[in-house]
Amino acid sequence: MPFQLLFPPDWVEYGAGADEQSFGTSDGMLTLIVGRAVIEPGQTVADRVEVNRTTEFRNCSSDASLDRPITIDTEPGILWSVRCGDRSILAANTIHDGRGYRVLVQSTPDAAADLEPLLRAFVDGFRFTE
């Protein structure tokens, strides 16, 4: 994947595919997933967030009025949240070189973590390499 990330020492790589890479704590309570996708010509970051909400997270609750701006490396993005049953999810989407990127953190119900500081720490250490 064309990016670099900084990780706390207790995080491990779970797996990688062509367009997604996942990491997590060694106890499995917290997960980070970085994904990318080819976007349609003219699509915006807001469009990409809406695609995520209406496809992958269509059966979850997500309030667009809570979306906030965020910067990933040097690219403008959108910070947004999802609730799927008892799972809390926080994501940041952006566009870089014609691809949509999503940095997503989630916790198990037992973790009861405040995900925003965690996501912001990953985003602050995120760098595109291409």
Tell me the percentage of the chain whose pLDDT exceeds 70.
97
Looking at per-residue confidence, does 13 or 75 come out higher? 75
Write the DSSP assignment of 111-126 as a string of letters: T---HHHHHHHHHHT-
Q: Say if CB 89 and CB 106 are below 8 A apart.
A: yes
pLDDT in tens, 89-111: 999 999 999 999 999 999 877 66
User: 3-state DSSP: the chain helix, strand, coil percent, rounded to 5?
Assistant: 20, 45, 35
Whole-number Å distance between alpha carbons of 74 and 69: 13
- DSSP H or E run through 102: strand 99-107
pLDDT in tens, 36-66: 999 999 999 999 999 999 999 999 999 999 9
**pLDDT exceeds cutoff 90 at 1:** no
What the chain holds in terms of domains, given with CATH numbers, is: 7-23+32-128 (3.40.1000.10)
Helix (H, G, I), strand (E, B) or coil at 45: helix
